[in-house]
Amino acid sequence: MATRPTARAEKVPTVEHRFFELIPPHLGIDFVGLRFKMLILSWTLILIGLVSIYLHGGLNYGIDFAGGTMVHVKFAAPTPTGDIRSALSRPELREVIVQDVGQGGREFQIRVLGAAEGGSTAVADAIKGGLREKFGEGTYDVLRVETVGPKVGKDLWRDATLAVLAATLVMATYIALRFEIRFGVGAAVALVHDVLITLGALSIANMEFDLTTVAALLTVVGYSVHDTVIVSDRIRENMRKMRRENLATIMNLSINETLSRTLITSGTAILVTAALFVLGGSVIHIFAFALLVGFVVGTYSSIYVASPIVLYLEGRKSAR
């Protein structure tokens, strides 16, 4: 019985997909070889920041932590900031900060740090009285009044500190469980490094430190660990493929392979944050500045802080 010839399966042509790469994956930059120079740079930046904090007598705490009163006013016509400051030059008002929040020079936030005699109501009444004497009745509207007492400010400072420490610990624990303990230690050191440099930059720029800045620090912690996870995952993947190679070679290869993705992702975030910093107005100026510094430092630390820590721990393990 003759068998029917089977039809020969047609070969499906393969389609080659091309993706955009900012940097070739096999560039061969010796990142690990630069780790000691980068370590000196990191310590230098941290020390400069700590010295700045010491010379300023601590961070420039806002009303959220130092306590005080904030009055948000809106004028009927554009008003110079200097005129408002002169109207509030009163003995009962100490450390007055006038911030233009937009609307063509008609809306301002007036902050008075610390508690005055007579309580928070006396501070708000003194602000309203100074503006009334200078500009007249009915020339402005009080949109809102916020007051934080000294005890509440201390509680907020404690809670904010615990929030940043808890976020750092949880992120490090997550990486340690997903990869290895040494990767978790490297991530924790990198996160502390990012927070310290960001705080130092805020101190050098003499910017106010409040709850909004704490939110920026928590965002920096989350962003930094995200980039660290990408690099660590590629290192683990290459460790399985290249069992005969030493860890330094595998790290260099892994960082070079993820460099294009890191720069594209981080560069996009940095450009957006820079736009917020330049164009976003004074209300989010400090928040955008903290994010901008944190994103740059976070990208740097995922390469030059977290990975070298893992390499150092590997060397100690091999020496035993």
Q: What is the pLDDT of residues 147-187, one digit of tens each?
A: 777 677 778 888 888 888 888 888 888 888 877 788 888 88
Per-residue pLDDT averaged across 194-213, rounded?
89
Q: Which pLDDT band holds residue 229 (cuts at 50, 70, 90)?
A: confident
Q: Which CATH number fits domain 68-148: 1.25.40.80, 3.40.50.300, 3.30.70.3400, 3.40.190.10?
A: 3.30.70.3400
Q: How far apart are CA 187 and CA 199, in angstroms?
A: 18
Q: Decide which of 24 and 51 is more confident.
A: 51
Residue with tokens 């030493």: 246
What pLDDT shows up at residue 271? 92
**Using an 8 Å Cβ cutoff, are 290 and 223 in contact?**
no
What pLDDT shows up at residue 297? 92
What pLDDT shows up at residue 48? 94
Q: Burial letters for 154-163: b for 16+ Cβ neighbours within 10 Å, e otherwise?
A: eebbeebeeb
**Using an 8 Å Cβ cutoff, are 117 and 103 in contact?**
no
What pLDDT shows up at residue 295? 92
Q: Name 107's Cβ contacts closer than 8 Å, sequence gap at least 6.
A: 72, 73, 74, 75, 100, 101, 143
Which residues partner with 111 through β-bridges?
70, 97
For residue 172, what are its two tokens?
Answer: 């490090």
Q: How far apart are CA 98 and CA 104, in angstroms?
A: 15
Residue with tokens 């936030």: 109
* Claim: this prediction has a pTM higher than 0.85: no
pLDDT at 5 over 70: no
For residue 265, what are its two tokens?
Answer: 């992702």
**Using an 8 Å Cβ cutoff, are 158 and 211 in contact?**
no
For 146, the 3-state DSSP assignment is strand
Per-residue pLDDT averaged across 256-269, rounded?
84
Domain chopping of the chain, boundaries = 32-61+152-319, 68-148
Q: Which CATH number fits domain 32-61+152-319: 3.90.105.10, 1.20.1640.10, 3.10.20.30, 2.60.40.10?
A: 1.20.1640.10
